Copies of this chain bind each other. A is one copy, B any other.
Amino acid sequence: MANAMLLPVLISFLIMPFSAMALTQDFCVADLSCSDTPAGYPCKAGVSAGDFYYHGLAAAGNTSNLIKAAVTPAFVGQFPGVNGLGISAARLDIAMGGVVPLHTHPAASELLFVTEGTILAGFISSSSNTVYTKTLYKGDIMVFPQGLLHYQYNGGSSAAVALVAFSGPNPGLQITDYALFANNLPSAVVEKVTFLDDAQVKKLKSVLGGSG
């Protein structure tokens, strides 16, 4: 169909609408130097392919710690390209015997994909307190609905690795133990709102660096 004689005309025409629509927003890479907004960060100028790429999940996290586990995030703070796109990721490394303690993500659902080893995972529904738990092997996926308490631990005889995707660029992470014991919330208040014994609360406050 394209007649060579008409080519110069075609070029000049088709380029026109693009310059006129230069503000179209295909994406909005976060400018982390600006204040956040309820919908995410303002968009940075001068975007390149590197903004949509992240290498930080390639290396295993350091699991040489008591819980023998590490969470490596690729949220908007680490990976500005996901800003406004409704998705983010993290890497989970769990050594033998390791555990990702009970926690929630206030702002996203989570989808876990096991890439190595065996992970026992569960979540607990609200109101009825039903426990939904599965043993996951390499290649299995499990989804954890937004805001519900869940946990993962290594259920096998070797290290476990998982990729975790979230339904938002900034899912948040609230580890119950840290919310209760790793701050200055007074022990008396913790006990009142949890029914835990005083000795238990003080022990964990000590372990996790809390005061009060």
**Cα-based distance from A55 to B142 in the complex (angstroms):** 9
Chain B residues closer than 8 Å to A123, beta-carbon distance: 52
A131 touches B185 (CB 8 A): yes
Interface size on A, residues (CB 8 A): 150
Select A59's contact among B23, B59, B71, B139, beta carbons within 8 Å.
B139
- The copy count of this chain in the complex is 6
Beyond A52-B123, A126-B172, A129-B178, list 11 extra A-B contacts (CB 8 Å). A17-B127, A17-B173, A21-B77, A35-B43, A39-B39, A52-B145, A106-B146, A113-B113, A129-B179, A165-B165, A177-B195
29 A/B residue pairs, CB under 8 Å, sorted by A? A1-B191, A9-B64, A10-B65, A11-B208, A11-B209, A13-B65, A23-B75, A24-B75, A24-B126, A24-B170, A25-B36, A26-B145, A28-B37, A37-B42, A39-B39, A39-B40, A52-B143, A55-B139, A58-B138, A74-B141, A87-B165, A99-B192, A101-B194, A102-B194, A126-B174, A147-B147, A177-B195, A196-B204, A200-B200
Enumerate chain A interface residues (CB-CB to B < 8 A): 1-3, 6-7, 9-18, 20-28, 31-32, 34-45, 48-50, 52-55, 57-59, 64-67, 70-79, 81-89, 91, 99, 101-102, 104-111, 113, 115, 122-134, 136-149, 151, 153, 163, 165-168, 170-180, 182-185, 189, 191-198, 200, 203-204, 206-209
